[in-house]
């Protein structure tokens, strides 16, 4: 967007014959527009635009969820006991009990 604004300013200065832009070539005045088109092509081809849109949508979704939980009187940052226990077990705390071994799998009768 910055390139387009610069291009419009240069175009206006060239048409008004303001300052040194009156003597510049039209190629110099048109260069920001060409650069903007190339940037948009690159951003679309690499998926940059789509990733930004998805991140923005995910942020809005998280904010909406937090507002809903707060409206219900729940703390959205509160950790549930099960999650807290799993995190303690993963961190290797000494006071956390070891996880039981999984039951053996065999053919069912």
Which residue ranges make up each domain of the chain? Answer: 1-46, 55-89
The encoded tokens of residue 53 equal 């849109």
- The length of the chain is 109
Reading the block at residue 90, the tokens are 């993963």
Angle at alpha carbon of residue 88, lines to 69 and 67, rounded to 5°: 10
| DSSP codes, 52-65 | HHHHHHHHHHHHHH
Looking at residue 48, what is its pLDDT?
A: 84
What does pTM read for this prediction? 0.50
Eight-class DSSP state of 68:
H
For residue 36, the model assigns a pLDDT of 95
Residue 6 to residue 8: CA distance in whole angstroms: 5
Q: List, for residues 36-79, the tens digit of each pLDDT value.
A: 999 999 988 888 888 889 999 999 999 998 888 888 877 766 66
């Amino acid at each position: 967007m910055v390139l387009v604004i610069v291009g419009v300013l240069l175009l206006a200065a060239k048409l008004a014959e303001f300052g040194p832009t009156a003597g510049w070539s039209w190629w110099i005045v048109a260069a920001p527009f060409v650069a903007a088109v190339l940037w948009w092509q690159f951003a679309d081809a690499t998926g940059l635009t789509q990733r930004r849109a998805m991140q923005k949508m995910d942020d809005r979704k998280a904010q909406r969820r937090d507002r809903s939980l707060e409206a219900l009187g729940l703390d959205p940052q509160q950790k549930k006991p099960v999650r807290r226990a799993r995190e303690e077990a993963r961190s290797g705390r000494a006071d956390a009990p070891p996880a039981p071994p999984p039951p053996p799998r065999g053919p069912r009768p």
